[in-house]
Amino acid sequence: MSPRRPDNPPLDREHLSSDPIDQFAVWFSEAQEAVPLAEAMTLATISADGSPDARMVLLRGFGPDGFRFFTNYESAKGDQLAANPRAALILYWRELDRQVRIRGTVERLPPADSDAYFASRARDSQIAAAISPQSRPIEREELDRRYVELAVELGESSPSRPDHWGGYLVRPKAIEFWQGRDSRMHDRLLYSRTRDGWAVQRLAP
């Protein structure tokens, strides 16, 4: 981990919000000011044989219900989430010497939410999502051919959201805020969901 920035205050429990989503909003806003692609995050899932699997995705919204991302439902991660709807997320902001770890259950977003986000994407990205059999073997020439064919077929219009593409919501059960210190005595504060709300405890570095 990189050295802690001089203006990074100690991560004390009394200075944190009682709600981890509110605390995440503060950190994410600061990351957007200091970090290229602050929304990049690792998504970890579990394969059919119980092996961990991970890849980078983009955070596309968050709120009291959880954290959102969009992808191909028929991709490897889509298949894994259909079989075992649990996941972990990590956002690491090197420039701030901070990371956030999230664990929870996963569910598909309502179609209207996926439609709205798909419509907001660039046309090239929409076409790519429509023609790509994500995670499946394919030759580059075939991929390019499918793209060109659909682009020509559409003319100046944009494709509708394909049924195999949409959003997911990660409903957090645990959120950990990590902040580095030069001494390696890093700060780790863990929020765990309980029947009464969120409990907070400090973890050893």
Q: Which residues contact 59 (CB under 8 A, 6 or more apart)?
A: 39, 40, 41, 67, 68, 69, 89, 91
Helix (H) or strand (E) holding 179: strand 165-179
* DSSP conformation class of 19: S
R_g of the chain, CA atoms, integer Å = 19
**Taking the chain, what is the end-to-end CA distance rounded to the nearest angstrom?**
13
**Is 184 a residue of the active site?**
yes
- Active-site pick, 146, 184, 193, 202: 184
What one-letter code names the amino acid at 111?
A: P
Strands 98-108 and 86-93: antiparallel
Which residues are catalytically annotated? Answer: 184
